[in-house]
Amino acid sequence: MTTLFHNATFYTMVAEGDRAEALVVADDGTLAFVGPLDEARRQAPDAEAVDLQGATVLPGLIDPHGHFGGSMQYVLYADLSLCTSFEDIQRVIREFIAARNVGPDGVVMATGYDQNELAEGHHPTKSVLDAVSTEVPILAVHASNHMAVANSLLLDMAGIDASTPDPEGGRYGRVAGTLEPDGYAEEPAAVNALYAVTQPRMNLDLNAIADDMQLVYLEHGITTCQDGATPASMAELLRGMAEGGKLKLDVVAYPMHGEDVDAMLEQYAAYDGPTYRGHLRIGGLKMFLDGSPQGMTAWMTEPYVSGPEGEDDWVAYGTMTDEDAIAFAKKAIDGGHQLLCHTNGDAAGDQLLRVYAAALDASDNPRKHELRPVMIHCQTMRPDQYERMAELHMVPSIFSSHIWYWGDVHLKNFGPVRGGRISACGDALRAGLPFTLHTDTPVLRPNLLEAAWCAVNRVTKKGAQLDEDQKVGVYDALRAITVNGAYQYGEEDRKGTLEAGKLADLAVLDRDPFAIDPAALRDVTVLATIKEGEQVYAHE
């Protein structure tokens, strides 16, 4: 049935200030008309009219980087995000075990602690978790998802002991003065050995929690999201959701380095490319080059001002050699795939720019300059690096929410100049780059309007004003989560703006983000989310 949406301010995002009075949605879920209400009624006299009661409408918001599979954490994991001490962590996990009746055959997954917010000022250890249980394996995952802590039982089950060496690109914490592991694991190279034990014990049934996982996105007006580091196990679960008709929004998956990506691309060939099947497609490949700035594992060219204890010249480390990174980037380019690369520190940024250029030179793909590679996070990128990105047709996807959530930590770790420049959207804009904004869900919930607020205001939790030269205006911030998001995915022909012929993906808001004080931008509420003309979320 044809539908006419009216009584709202429709910002098309085609140009700043461009708006319409009405939209007509065709039977196939595309926009048949965008413009004056009288003309909409003339063109679709029999359309079902939907009165939006004075709301403001943007194109459906586009999540340019996150981990859709990770949204299960909000449903299945103990939440440590409000913990301010080891005692809090123990209490939350004990309550979780009791509420879920977790026994020795099960597992406890907890997530969201941040050592920067704990009274003790450092990561917990196995002894903290052993005080909760030595009969149930427990894994507490850091808010960044780059570190985790296991209890003694889980370490034993994973075969991690004093004889276990640190893997390349990661490390295990050790009890002082010994090689005995203290439970701490840093970066995927080390943490994955723990996940190998815990994940099979979770007995995942994504179909059972599919609605809850998607609600995390839909309540924020998001109509396209990403699974930005897809292992083979998650690829199969996603396919099951797609084939079972469980997906309500578009999900773009990226098989990750370390998996047999060739086998994955062959097995899921039907999903590989620009066309969605059951709202799922493979968009490219993913690799990691460093860690987390708030965890002090982002790889820097200059030392942290306040590094780990006893590390006065700490710059952290990379996670891949140039040789391996070039080979993986070339695999992506040769196959016509977009490459996503996790890159927080500026040394890692230098490496990505270097290895991607080398891979381009080595590839014979005639369309190699059309693939729009993406630098993910970009927390400490320098102006010269943004200029180089433009030369490589690379898209910076900036984790702007760091400004609020960890800006104070970055000022401590990097000092006022480097810390003040974190998430430098202004430099990206001046370089002419179509930058995007993300929240790296499940590191943070996918509140893209808050991410835009961070880019516009650049204020930390403690009220510090970060480098104002890196601020962007409201239009450019919202463009980053609509127009530029569509461009990053190569979907600008069907998403990102409200124009005839594009998908009727809409975010319905309770107020006009362009008419309010920019400081109030993150207070805007999503009233409804519409995917291809169908309402898939309504605010209660």
Q: Give the pLDDT confidence of 253-289 residue by residue, as tens digits.
A: 999 999 999 999 999 999 999 999 999 999 999 999 9
Give the SS3 label for residue 149. strand
**pLDDT, tens digit (0-9, with 9 covering 90-100), for 409-426:** 999 999 999 999 999 999
Instruction: Give the gyration radius of the chain's Cα atoms.
Output: 23
Label residue 169 by pLDDT band (50, 70, 90). confident
For the beta carbon of residue 201, count every other beta carbon within 10 angstroms. 16
Closest C-alpha among 75, 71, 183 to residue 122: 183
pLDDT at 157 over 90: yes
CA angle 457, 527, 522 (to 5 degrees): 10
| Cα distance between residue 149 and residue 140, in whole Å | 5
Q: How far is CA 444 from the centre of its chain?
A: 8
Q: What percentage of residues in the chain have a pLDDT greater than 70?
A: 100
| Cα distance between residue 357 and residue 398, in whole Å | 21
Give all strands (DSSP E) within 387-519, no chain letters: 395-398, 436-437, 506-509
pLDDT at 306: 80
The one-letter amino acid code at 63 reads: D
Please give the C-alpha separations between residue 534 and each of 80, 234, 352, 369, in angstroms, as whole numbers.
35, 27, 40, 36
Of 63-67, 68-72, 152-156, 427-431, minimum mean pLDDT range:
68-72
pLDDT at 311 over 90: no
pLDDT at 384: 98
What phi, psi does 213 have (nearest 5°)? -65, -40
| Cα distance between residue 74 and residue 197, in whole Å | 20
Average pLDDT over residues 321-325: 97
**pLDDT, tens digit (0-9, with 9 covering 90-100), for 431-444:** 999 999 999 999 99
pLDDT at 1: 84
pLDDT at 309 over 80: no
Give the SS3 label for residue 206. helix
Instruction: Return the CATH fold of 106-201.
Output: Diaminopimelate Epimerase; Chain A, domain 1 (3.10.310)
Cβ-Cβ contacts under 8 Å for 530 (sequence gap 6 or more) = 60, 223, 504, 505, 506, 507, 508, 536
pLDDT at 121 over 80: yes
Is the peptide bond between 434 and the residue preceding it cis, with omega within 30 degrees of 0?
no
Average predicted confidence (pLDDT) for the chain: 96
- Taken in order 63, 67, 69, 73, is the CA torsion positive or negative? negative
**pLDDT, tens digit (0-9, with 9 covering 90-100), for 464-520:** 999 999 999 999 999 999 999 999 999 999 999 999 999 999 999 999 999 999 999
What are the boundaries of each domain within the chain? 106-201, 284-472
Task: Find out whether 60 and 513 touch, Cβ atoms under 8 Å.
Answer: no
**pLDDT, tens digit (0-9, with 9 covering 90-100), for 222-254:** 999 999 999 998 999 999 999 999 999 999 999
CATH number attached to the domain at 284-472: 3.20.20.140
- Taken in order 133, 134, 136, 139, is the CA torsion positive or negative? positive
pTM above 0.85, yes or no: yes
167: DSSP letter: P
pLDDT at 310 over 90: no
| Cα distance between residue 72 and residue 491, in whole Å | 27
In the sheet where 147-150 sits, what is the strand order?
Answer: 78-79, 108-113, 138-142, 147-150, 181-186, 171-174
